[in-house]
Amino acid sequence: MIKIAPSILTSDFSRLYEEVKQVEDAGADLLHLDIMDGHFVPNITMGPVVLRSLKKRVKLPFDVHLMIQEPWNFIKAFSDVSDILTVHVEACNNIPGILKKIKTLNIKAGLALNPNTDVSSVTDYLKDIDMVTIMTVNPGFGGQKFMTSVLPKIKKIRNIISKGELNVDVEVDGGITSKNVGQVVKNGANVIVTGAAIFNKKTTVKDALKIIRNSAK
């Protein structure tokens, strides 16, 4: 089953709840929330206070993506607003420890890889996570162009997961549109993060999400 996780990074933050409500009503499966600290990536977004306000009014599972340095220090802060909490392998000094810490808080755990990071950096931890996120843009900003060079990495990680009979979602994040989502799914992704294609203002959020979902088949 393909899951669509709209990213609010390119939404209108002046009416954030209304934007989120639109994707919820349109039938999204998850809500993708990018947390940036201005250090790990050259941008700053939001913190747990904003997520906590949304969580009170939104029923969608929160797919929280920490693009921050030293994520260990912030796991507890995001624990009550995350259904799945993803950290970057590039930002972790102690991957087994941080995954254990997330699991101890009864949250699903994910690991994310930047475009230039090899799949080998996560293979030893696949049995300990619920999702692996493959970045198809360099993280930090929404609306970037999809990097087709990452497609083989998606296929490789899916093959490893299938061979090991592991129950791990493969999420792909960055530049996904109706034109390339079919390729992404064909190569093994089952969770699709998309922002600009949903909040494009050229069509309704409901129609945009429907187009993405139909194109993923």
Q: Please give the pLDDT value at position 5.
A: 98
Predicted TM-score (pTM) of the model is 0.95
Q: Please give the pLDDT value at position 145.
A: 87
Burial of 156 (0-12, 13-18, 19+ CB in 10 A): middle
Quote the tokens at residue 63: 């797919």
Using an 8 Å Cβ cutoff, are 181 and 210 in contact? no
Sequence-ordered list of residues with C-beta below 8 angstroms from that of 14, at least 6 positions apart, any chain: none
Give 11-21 pLDDT, tens digit per residue: 999 999 999 99
**Confidence check: pLDDT of 142 > 70:** no
Cβ neighbour number for residue 13 with a 10 Å cutoff? 12
**Confidence check: pLDDT of 204 > 80:** yes
Number of domains the chain is built from: 1
- State the average pLDDT for the chain: 94
Pick the catalytic residue: 34, 63, 130, 169?
34
**Rounded mean pLDDT, 82-99:** 96
Q: Please give the pLDDT value at position 29.
A: 98
Known catalytic membership, residue 130 = no
Give 59-86 pLDDT, tens digit per residue: 999 999 999 999 999 999 999 999 999 9
**Rounded mean pLDDT, 2-6:** 97
Assign 144 a pLDDT band (cuts: 50, 70, 90).
confident
Assign 91 a pLDDT band (cuts: 50, 70, 90).
very high
**Rounded mean pLDDT, 186-212:** 93
**Rounded mean pLDDT, 116-135:** 97
Residue 133 belongs to what domain range?
3-215
What CATH number is given to the structural domain containing 19? Answer: 3.20.20.70
Using an 8 Å Cβ cutoff, are 43 and 140 in contact? yes
Pick the catalytic residue: 29, 63, 169, 173?
173
Using an 8 Å Cβ cutoff, are 132 and 113 in contact? yes
Known catalytic membership, residue 207 = no
**Confidence check: pLDDT of 45 > 80:** yes
Q: Which residue has the tokens 């206070």?
A: 49
